Amino acid sequence: MTLPEKLFPATLMPDRDWWQALWPDPDATIAALGIDPGMAAVDLCCGDGYFTAAIARRVAGDSAAGSVIGLDLDPGLLQQARAACAGAAHCTWISGDAMDLGQLVTARADCVLIANTFHGVPDPAGLAAAVSSILSPGGRFIVVNWHALPREQTPVLGLPRGPKSEMRMAPAAVRAIVEPRGFELEAVVELPPYHYGAIFVAA
Ligand SMILES: C[S@@+](CC[C@H](N)C(=O)[O-])C[C@H]1O[C@@H](n2cnc3c(N)ncnc32)[C@H](O)[C@@H]1O
């Protein structure tokens, strides 16, 4: 059962038509973010699995024994994610609140990705602490966000898209929240046309 009161504001799954137009090559995105073959990854707030499927392909590359956990509050989206990853043997699924990550995921992860969601998290420092609790030493926390551009300047298929302008976060704002929770910023990767990936290493 979905718990709407726990849904982070402004984080509904976008429609596939414009999402695919915006992110035509999710495999390249995942590689650019440093998610590598053999990693144990978590796709936090995975939605319909658009990026989870790319992670599943990537971590299994070169016969590596990687794995991915997809976690989302919405069981209907998780079903879609499961279908998107059909055939990949190393995917597991968790229906739950991202804020409970530390209780929901017991194994250590090499990386945790949160894409297109961090802008809406009411307690982002608490979420960063939860991520820290499940990462291996030297593991990565990767935050993919819309750049802090006015919404009317980020059209896709002819319409303004993404969260409200005032919810958008510059990389420095994410850094100020995440680093005090046990991380160091390693890199900010540009993901044109409108996104960046902030990659943090667990200290
Ligand atoms: C904008 S979508 C992004 C999905 C995916 N990361 C992507 O980039 O394609 C945000 C997702 O976060 C999920 N979500 C929102 N609040 C959540 C929470 N408290 N715990 C777990 N998932 C949540 C929503 O159900 C939705 O699938």
Q: Which atom of ligand 1 is nearest to the CA of 117?
A: 10
pLDDT tens digit string along 58-94?
999 867 789 999 999 999 999 999 999 998 879 999 9
Give all domains of the chain, ordered by start, each with its CATH number: 15-202 (3.40.50.150)
State how far the Cα of 44 lies from the Cα of 135, in Å rounded to an integer: 13
Given a cut of 70, whether residue 130 has pLDDT beyond it is: yes
Question: What pLDDT shows up at residue 3?
Answer: 65
- Chain segment 31-55, per-residue pLDDT in tens: 999 999 999 999 999 999 999 999 9
Ligand 1 mean position, distance from CA 13 (Å): 7
Q: For residue range 157-180, what is the model confidence (pLDDT) as tens digits?
A: 999 999 999 999 999 999 999 999
Q: What is the pLDDT of residue 87?
A: 85
> Tell me, what's the pLDDT at 89?
75
Q: How does pLDDT run across 4-21, given as a tens digit for each residue?
A: 889 999 999 999 999 999
Give the model's pLDDT for residue 2: 54
- State the closest ligand 1 atom to the C-alpha of 98, by its place in the atom list counted from 1: 20
179 CA → ligand 1 middle, Å: 22
- Digit-coded pLDDT (tens) for 101-116: 999 999 999 999 999 9
For the entire predicted model, the pTM comes to 0.97
Q: Residue 144 CA: which ligand 1 atom is closest?
A: 8
The predicted structure's pLDDT at residue 4: 80
Residue list, ligand 1 pocket, CB within 6 Å: 6-8, 11, 13, 45-47, 50-51, 72-74, 77, 97-98, 115-117
